[in-house]
Structure formats: structure tokens, C-alpha cells
Chains A and B, each alone.
Chain A
Amino acid sequence: MAQKIPSCVWAFRVFSAFALTAALVFPLSGCAGRQAKPSYDNGSVRFSITVPKSAQVYLVLFQTDSSEPTLRQYPVRDNRDGRRVAVVRIGPGEYHYFFQVDGRAEIDPGAPRVEKDDFGGGNGVFTLEINNDGSANIY
């Protein structure tokens, strides 16, 4: 014969399940919610990513439509808001990029576009367009 479970126990169970789910999901959704696509300011493009503080991070940026290799790695520094930021001075054009986090390649979750990379993964892609008034479009 099944014993009736008191409602306060049910309430505790539901609360615990909710709290556990929130504890697991919130940090992830928090990261996702803070995704930022590359932005342009005063001649430079700002890239950012949220990774653990101890991680070694580089930005790898290149153009695939150039007849010469253009791949370059840039250091990524800590920012006050807890994000890691790289600011790179580049001209208009189409760029491919990814972050190297502790040696692993990671696609920027805020990348305007993602394209396959011939290695089974992908790269973030964006076009930088400078307007006559000095502002820029990144898409």
C-alpha cells in the first residue's frame, strides 16, 4: 500500500529540482547571454570571449581570399567585466577567426557567421565595412 507523501516534502522536492536545474543552467545561459559579436571602435575591431580566468587564450585571425597567407595570432587580455578581449587594428574585408583556448580551437559564439573549415569544425566569419563617416558595419 502506497504511503502518502506529505505536501511539504513534494514542495521541497520540486524546489530542490528547480534549484539544481537553475544552478546548472544559469551559468551556461549567463555565458550565452553575454555573447558579443565583434565590434568596431576607432579603427580597431574588438573581439571578446568568456572563458575561465586561468585559460590561455589567443585570437587567430586570417583572410582566406588573399593570395598570401595572412594567419596571425593575437594575445587576448583580461577585461574588467570578466571577459577576455582582443583589440586588433584591421582594414575592411572579410575575415575568418577563432579563439585558441588552452590549445583548443573554439568558435566565437557571437560570430556574425560561421563557415566550415575543412577540418570538420568551423570558423567565425565577418565582413568589416567602413563607412564614409568613419563608422563601420560588421556582419
Chain B
Amino acid sequence: MATKNFQNLKNRFCLAIFMIFPVLLSMMLITPASAEGIQDHPQLRQMLTDQYRDQDRDRIISQYEDCLDAGVPSGTITPMVENAARAGVDANHLESMLQEVYKTKKYNLPPGPVASKAMEGLVKNMDGRQIITAMTRVRQRMEYAAQEMKGLNAPGISERERHRMILDTAEAMASGMDRSHVHGIYKDLMDNGSGQFSREENRERTMATMEYMKRLSGYGVSPDQVAAISREMNRHRYTGEEIGQTTKAFSMARSRSWNMARFSQSVESYINNGGRGSGMGHMDWGSAMGMHNSKGMDSDHGSGSMGGDNDGGSGGGMGGGHGGMH
């Protein structure tokens, strides 16, 4: 009796599998056909139909769908195409703009900044050619960063972290870091990292260095100084946390409108003399920079001050404490 019941159950199970399998198979086959395309954006299609000749519209749609197929999120390119069509961008230019986004994705780079640059250009009423040139620059900066990263011995970096580092490096370059300085910083990391730090420590150092490079360039520190301090940090085997503390020190200096060139020199000397990252928050930078009163701080904007003894006054202080970073 039990054997018969088991046989019955087995038959039903086989029948169920036999029935479910074709359904699953057909779902798998149908999926690519139902992937996102222009049919999901009827408003965009209508806009393109109104704006361009049929032949041009079809080329734009084809390039748009290539981007989607390559994995570019529709939220990244749909607003770009809508705004470009609304602004009356020439069909060839719009196609090239989409090609730039496509190339970026194909190189395994984040396409968002390239599409964002196009949006910025459209809002600024730039013509199609200028927008494509700017988009290409953004892509090339990211490509260069990705190329430098390949040479870096930092295994265990996730795709998201890789994109973060590429964006940081590209941002630093947009703020004025040239290729030779960026290469120097990557090389220092490579030469000083392997063998001296664990895999995890290397990952942290790399991430922190990219952010350091982006922030300092943005604060107006010269590429020479950014590279020199990075070299010192590597020479003194700064950990990722210490590199982060150095970056924070620069943010504090920037928030108080201190002269960045003088501050950079002081930080370089501090590290060169064996100072560690953990001590930066307690350092009397005013004395280190050779100035003992608020009037002597020689701010970049002429309005900076020490806020007395760094009590974290209105100029802001890291951590809101006693002028220190915690």
C-alpha cells in the first residue's frame, strides 16, 4: 500500500515537472523580447517623432535601445534624450551623445557622469558639438582612471568601490590633476602597498587615497603638492585611516578659508617629521604655519580666521569640538 502511494506521488511529481518545464522554458525565451525598450516610453517616442524625420528618429531609437541593452538604466538616458529633443539638438549629435553613453558602459565605466554632463550642457544652451566634446572628456578621464586602476594591486575591490575610485580620480582630474601626477600617485600606492600591508589594508589605503586626491584638488591644492603629500604618506606607511585623517585636516583648513598652499607645506613637513594622521586633529596648525594670530592666517578669501584658539567657532570645526578632528 505504502509502495503504491509512493509510486503515485512520484508519478504526480514527474507530471508536475513535465508541465512546469515548458512554462519555465517559454518564460526564459520570452524575457529578452520583453526587455525595456522604446515601447516602454511612449512619450519619448512621440517626442522624437514630432522632432525628427522618421529615418533620424529610427537611428536615435536604435542607439537608445542599444544603450538599454548594454545595461544603461533608462533613468540615466531617457531624461537626456528628452531634453535634447526638446532643445532641438541635431539628430546626428543626439545619436553621437547616445554613442558616448554606450561606449562608457561598454568600457565598464559608470555612464551617469557622461549623461549628466550632457544634461548640464543642454541646460547651459551649448550646441550638440560642444556637448559631445565635453562628454568625451568625462569619458576619457574615467577611462584613464580605469587604466591606472588595472595596474594597482588591490584585489578584493568590489565593482561599486571600483566605480567610486574611478569617479574620484576622474573628479580630481576635472579639478586640475594632470595625468602625470595621477600616475605618480597610483605608482606610489603600488610601490609601497604590496608586501607591507594586508589585502584589506591595501584596499582601504587605495580608497582613501582616491578620495584624498579628489578632495584636495577640489580645494585648490596644486597637483605638485597633492602628489608630494601623497608621497610622504606612502613613505611613512600611512594607513587608510590616517590618509582619511589627512583629508579631514584639509577639509577643516578649507572650511576656515586658510591659505591652502601654506597649509599643504605645513602638512608635508608634519608628515616628513614623523607626524601621524591621528595627531593632525590636535595639531596647532596656526603655529606650524608661522602665524600666531587670526589676522595672520592669510586666508584665500581674506576672511578666514582661526576662531581664537580653534573653539570650533562659526567658521566651523571638524567634529564641532575644540578645533580637533575626532
Whether chain B is bound by chain A comes out as yes
- Number of B residues with CB within 8 Å of any CB on chain A: 40
- The contact of A119 among B115, B126, B175, B320, by CB within 8 Å, is B126
Q: Which of B109-130 contact A (CB under 8 A)?
A: 110, 112-113, 115-117, 119-121, 123-126, 130
Q: Which residues of B contact A98 (CB under 8 A)?
A: 124
Known contacts A71-B116, A137-B316; is A119 also within 8 Å of B171 by CB? no
The smallest beta-carbon distance between B149 and chain A, in angstroms, is 15
Q: Which residues of A contact B76 (CB under 8 A)?
A: 68-69
* B79 at the A interface (CB under 8 A): yes
Per-residue B-contact encoding for A103-139, CB less than 8 Å = 1, 0 else: 1110000000101111101010101010111011101
| C-alpha gap A133/B163 in the complex (Å) | 32
Known contacts A69-B115, A94-B218, A129-B251; is A64 also within 8 Å of B123 by CB? no
| C-alpha gap A129/B252 in the complex (Å) | 10
The smallest beta-carbon distance between B83 and chain A, in angstroms, is 10
Known contacts A64-B171, A131-B320; is A100 also within 8 Å of B123 by CB? yes
Known contacts A67-B113, A68-B75; is A131 also within 8 Å of B124 by CB? no
* A60 at the B interface (CB under 8 A): yes
Q: Which residues of A contact B120 (CB under 8 A)?
A: 60, 62, 71, 117, 119, 123
Q: Which residues of B contact A131 (CB under 8 A)?
A: 316, 319-320
* B121–A119 CB distance below 8 A: yes
Known contacts A67-B113, A68-B75; is A129 also within 8 Å of B255 by CB? yes
- The contact of B112 among A67, A119, A125, A139, by CB within 8 Å, is A67
* A119–B123 CB distance below 8 A: no
| C-alpha gap A119/B125 in the complex (Å) | 10
Using CB atoms, name the residue of chain A closest to B123. Answer: A60
Using CB atoms, name the residue of chain B closest to A136. Answer: B316
Using CB atoms, name the residue of chain B closest to A60. Answer: B123
Known contacts A131-B319, A137-B255; is A113 also within 8 Å of B138 by CB? no
* A70 at the B interface (CB under 8 A): yes
- The contact of A105 among B124, B134, B175, B319, by CB within 8 Å, is B124
Q: Which residues of B contact A66 (CB under 8 A)?
A: 112-113, 116, 167
Interface residues in chain A, defined as those with a beta carbon under 8 Å from any beta carbon in chain B: 60, 62, 64-71, 73, 94, 98, 100, 103-105, 113, 115-119, 121, 123, 125, 127, 129, 131-133, 135-137, 139
Q: A62-B120, A117-B134 are in contact. List 13 more A-B contacts (CB 8 A).
A: A62-B116, A64-B113, A64-B116, A64-B174, A71-B116, A113-B219, A115-B218, A119-B124, A119-B126, A129-B251, A139-B254, A139-B257, A139-B316
